């Protein structure tokens, strides 16, 4: 059986990729994707800990499902916003969206 630490390393790696994407990309879609990656890394952690540490309870799975739901709605709202912004301003670069900045 694959040891737990492998999963954790994988999750950490994906999280870092996602973090990089969220912090460094200018494209709003890419930022969104980075966030999705980070959420999935969390999911991997949740499932892995559940399976290895406490397989008798349902908690880990339930958490993971809630995170799916949140991620999905977040992606839906986020993408809708981005499309709307794109239609209006023809760009999705995050640092060009400075209407509310002083």
Partner 1 sequence: MTTELWIALLPLPPLVVFFAILLGAHRNNRLSHRLAVGAMGISWALAMAVFVRAVGVADLAHAPFAASFNWLPTGAGWLRMGVLVDPLSALALFFVAWTCLGIFIYSIGYHNFGQPRDPHDQPGLPPHHGGVEPMYARFFAFISLFAAAMLALVVSDNLLLLFIGWEIMGLCSYLLIGFWYGKPSAREAMVKAFLTTRIGDVFMLLGIVALYSATGTLNFREILANEQVLAALAAAPSGVLGLSLAGLIGLLLFFGTVGKSAQWPLHVWLPDAMEGPTPVSAMIHAATMVSAGVYLVLRFFPLITAGWHEGAALTPTMTVVAAIGAFTALFAATIAVAQNDIKRVLAYSTISQLGYMIAAAGIGAYVAAAFHLFTHAFFKALLFLGSGSVIHGMEAGEAATSKGDHAAGGHAIDPQNMFSMGGLRKRMPVTFWTFLIGGFALSGFPLLTAGFWSKDEILADAFGHGHMLVFGALAAAALLTAFYTMRQISLTFLGSPRTPAAEHAHEPAWSMRIPLIGLAVFAIAAGWIGIPEHFPALGGIIPNWVHGFLGASLAEGGAELAFSATPLLVSVAAALGGLTLGWWVYRRVAAGSPDPLERALGPVHRILKNKYYFDEFYQDVFVRPAYWLAETVVAGWIDRGIIDGTLHAIGGLSLRVGAFLRKWFDLLVINAIGDQVGNLVKWGGSVLRFVQTGRVQQYLVVGLVFVGLVFTGLLLLRP
Residues that bind partner 1 (CB under 8 A): 19, 22-24, 31, 94-95, 98, 100-102
- CA 31, 83, 78, 33 dihedral sign is negative
Cβ atoms within 10 Å of 86's Cβ, excluding its own: 13
**In this complex, which beta carbon is closest to partner 1, that of residue 90 or of residue 98?**
98
CA distance 100 to 85: 13
Q: How far is the CB of 101 from partner 1 (least distance, A)?
A: 4
Q: How far is the CB of 19 from partner 1 (least distance, A)?
A: 7
Q: How far is the CB of 25 from partner 1 (least distance, A)?
A: 8
């Amino acid at each position: 059986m694959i040891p737990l630490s492998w999963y954790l390393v994988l999750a950490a790696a994906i999280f870092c990729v996602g973090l990089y994407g969220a912090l460094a990309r200018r494209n709003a879609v890419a930022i969104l994707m980075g966030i999705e990656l980070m959420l999935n890394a969390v999911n991997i952690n949740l499932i892995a800990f559940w399976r290895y540490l406490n397989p008798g309870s349902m908690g880990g799975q339930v958490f993971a499902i809630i995170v799916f739901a949140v991620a999905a709605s977040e992606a839906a709202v986020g993408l809708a916003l981005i499309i709307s912004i794109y239609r209006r301003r023809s760009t999705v670069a995050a640092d060009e969206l400075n209407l509310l900045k002083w």
